[in-house]
Amino acid sequence: MNQQAQPDDRIRAWVRSGPEAASAGLVERTLGPVPRMRQRRSWRIVMDRWTRPLAGVAAGAAALGVVVIGLAVMVGMPGRGSVGDPGSTPVAGLRPTFELVLDGTTYRSDPDASVATCLGDDDDGSWSVLYAGGEPFLSLDLVVGAGGGGPGREDAVGAEIQTTGQYVRFDPAVLRGGDPPGRSGATVVVSDDGPSTTFVVTATTPQRITGEDGPSVEVALTLTCAPSSTEVMP
């Protein structure tokens, strides 16, 4: 009797075929659930591994094992799982567009980027944005905490940004593990316009491309979350 192939069987067949790189479709399906994770700092590392050629069959098997386990865990996680109450109701169907000036170089969002999500929480007002795409490639992981931009909450913003030759992160509000006092400074201004929400973020934070804090980098980000069917540019 023929039985339907189980996930493990499909994984073994894929590894035995000798893959050199994961397909774009596999990357998109793998990263789709990532915004639901409570701690998302490692999503950038997952993206990097899946978009580079795999070193060999053993590396492919190990990476697939991590992805499968991670997806199994995420399926059982309630709510949007970023900042705020994990049981709160998200506002879905929003897509980010942005202009980012990073150390004097300007980057703009690619409308065809496969990873581009905004999750806003109606209960506490917090936001989570994930983006990866464009040419040159850029990844952005932005969190705005509950009440971000309001009185006394101007610093309720954290971000992780990577592009070719640049990697910076900042979190003065301790949204995701936090900076030591004085490591970086950041502010956010939040404005609503009907179905769209715009964030203006300015920050000064150390360059970390080497893994250690280096010279300070200036960050200026204007990002709008809007329904995907609406063309809204910053």
In a domain, 81, yes or no: no
pLDDT in tens, 168-188: 999 998 888 889 989 999 999
Surface-to-core class of residue 222, CB atoms within 10 Å of its CB (0-12 exposed, 13-18 middle, 19+ buried): middle
Structural domain that includes position 156: 90-227
Asked whether residue 82 is assigned to any structural domain, the reply reads no
Looking at the DSSP assignment, which residues form a beta bridge with residue 98?
223
pLDDT digits (tens, 9 = 90+) for 128-170: 999 999 999 999 999 999 999 999 899 999 999 999 989 999 9
- What count of Cα atoms within 13 Å lies in the side-chain half-sphere of residue 62? 8
pTM score over 0.75:
no
> Do both 70 and 95 map to the same domain?
no
Rounded distance, CA 224 to CA 97, Å?
Answer: 5
pLDDT digits (tens, 9 = 90+) for 59-87: 444 444 444 333 333 333 333 333 434 34
Whether 199 and 173 share a structural domain: yes
234 found inside a domain: no
Please state, for a pLDDT cut of 90, what percent of the chain lies above it.
45
Whether 106 and 56 share a structural domain: no
CB-CB contact of 56 with 142 (8 Å): no
Could you give the number of structural domains in the chain? Answer: 2
Are residues 126 and 214 located together in one domain of the fold? Answer: yes
DSSP conformation class of 70: H
| Residue 148 located in a structural domain | yes
